[in-house]
Structure 1
Amino acid sequence: MRYAIVVEKTENNYSAYVPDLPGWVATGFTLEETESEIREAIQFHIEGLIEDGLPVPQPISVVEYVEVAA
């Protein structure tokens, strides 16, 4: 599955969340570390859902960029 993530730069690090999996976040000092951490969090969550016999949310979020005149 392919889930959209949102990564935000904060004052001291990066933070990421998954719109299709509310409540799951990850942080890291670098963009690469943050992406790795959120990937692990997603995998952990999905494995837990499967073990508990619960449905795995399908990825439905779409990521797009729009350009605007500055």
Structure 2
Amino acid sequence: MPEQTFLMVVEGTAESGYCGFFPTLPGCATAGDTLDEIVIRASEGLSLHLDGLRADGEPLPEPRPVTAADLADAEEFAGVVAVTYRP
């Protein structure tokens, strides 16, 4: 299986910390005190989530662009990060 890149919406501030969610992967989210920390945790969380789906025999969702509706769900929008899954 080739690698896939999923987009994570990041919300928060340096004062409050950050959290991120993957619009195409309900239930897959991460948090961290800094943007660097959330990017590291996002990669780990994405791998755990998708490996779990594969182990359960579930189909993996296809990556897609982030939409305006996805951004509307974010409180204190901080950005979008591309996270690559390497099975």
TM score, norm. by length of structure 2? 0.65
Report 1:30-69 matches (<5 A). 30-62=34-66
Structure with greater contact order relative to length (CA < 8 Å, sep ≥ 6)? 2
CA distance in 2, matches of 1:15, 1:62: 16
RMSD after superposition: 1.8
Q: Where has structure 1 moved over 4 Å in runs of 4 or more? A: none
TM score, norm. by length of structure 1? 0.79
Q: 2:7 aligns to what SS in structure 1? A: coil
Work out the number of aligned pairs and report it.
Answer: 64
Partner of 1:26: 30
Distance apart, 1:30 and its partner CA = 0.5
Mark the runs of 5 or more structure 2 residues left unpaired by the alignment. Answer: 68-87
Distance apart, 1:62 and its partner CA = 3.8
Moved more, 9-18 or 38-47: 9-18
CA distance in 2, matches of 1:62, 1:25: 15
Structure (1/2) with the larger strand percentage: 2
